[in-house]
């Protein structure tokens, strides 16, 4: 990742960080019936961040177990796991690998390649640091939120149903929200 200047982030430490799954969430939302949004999460995921002196030179990798999807409706979750959507038998994970980061007028952007259902596309996450601190057990942790919007059809998630009232059952745009807490390893 390249940047022309180093940005200052209070509490920032160089090293390797791993996601703390009990204090993190990988979520998404998508339009349903064109009138509301359905939200869901993935219960099983992991990620590693390698931070450098210049935060914009840092790297990130993450993986999500697609079978762990939860939209609070077991029938819908089974359909999402099927070949109509994620096809978890053939594509069990969603992967992210960062390719760069930049400070855009005080806003941190993290670019990377997102792979869903075997299709890799570039995405940009808006990245907001929540802060850093030590937990009661001596672990140094950092928190952040990252969001992006993708078109699900770009990743081969094309199943849909037409509505009698017009429109479709499932919207194209999916908002991905990552609420992250990571533990500094070294």
Angstrom distance (rounded) from CA 58 to CA 112:
12
Domain boundaries, the chain: 15-185
pLDDT of residue 116: 97
Residue 153 has pLDDT above 50, yes or no: yes
Task: Give the model's confidence band at 3: pLDDT under 50 very low, under 70 low, under 90 confident, else very high.
Answer: very low
Q: What is the pLDDT of residue 6?
A: 62
pLDDT in tens, 156-169: 987 776 767 776 66
What does the pLDDT read at residue 1? 36
To the question of pTM greater than 0.85 for the whole model, the response is: yes
Beta bridge partners of 128: 145
Report how far residue 110's alpha carbon sits from residue 176's, in angstroms, rounded to the nearest whole number: 14
Furthest-apart CA atoms within the chain: distance in Å:
58
> What is the model's pLDDT at position 175?
94
What does the pLDDT look like over 62-120, one tens digit per residue?
999 999 999 999 999 999 999 999 999 999 999 999 999 998 988 889 999 999 999 99
Three-class DSSP category at 27: strand
Contact by Cβ (8 Å): 55, 39: no
At 4-52, the pLDDT tens digits run 456 778 888 999 999 999 999 999 998 776 766 889 999 999 999 999 9
Residue appearing with tokens 């929200």: 177
Give the model's pLDDT for residue 118. 96
Q: Give the total residue count for the chain.
A: 186
Q: For residues 156, 71, 173 and 33, what is the CA-based torsion angle, rounded to 10 degrees?
A: 110
Residue 28: per-residue pLDDT: 94
Class of domain 15-185: mainly beta
Q: What's residue 106's pLDDT?
A: 82
């Amino acid at each position: 990742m390249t940047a022309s200047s180093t940005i200052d982030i209070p509490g920032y430490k160089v090293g390797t960080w791993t996601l703390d799954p009990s204090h993190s969430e990988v979520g998404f939302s998508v339009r349903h019936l064109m009138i509301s949004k359905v939200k869901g999460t993935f219960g099983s995921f992991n990620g590693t961040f390698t931070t450098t002196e210049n935060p914009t030179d840092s790297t990130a990798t993450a993986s999500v177990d697609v079978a762990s999807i939860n939209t609070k409706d077991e029938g819908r979750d089974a359909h999402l796991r099927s070949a109509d959507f994620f096809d978890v038998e053939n594509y069990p994970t969603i992967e992210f690998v960062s390719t760069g980061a930049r400070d855009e007028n005080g806003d941190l952007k993290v670019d990377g390649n997102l792979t869903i259902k075997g299709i890799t596309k570039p995405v940009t996450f808006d990245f907001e640091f929540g802060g850093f601190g030590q937990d009661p057990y001596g672990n140094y942790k950092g928190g952040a939120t990252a969001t992006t919007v993708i078109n699900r059809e770009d990743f081969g998630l094309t199943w849909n149903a037409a509505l009698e009232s017009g429109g479709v059952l499932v919207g194209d745009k999916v908002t991905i929200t990552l609420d992250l807490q990571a533990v500094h390893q070294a």
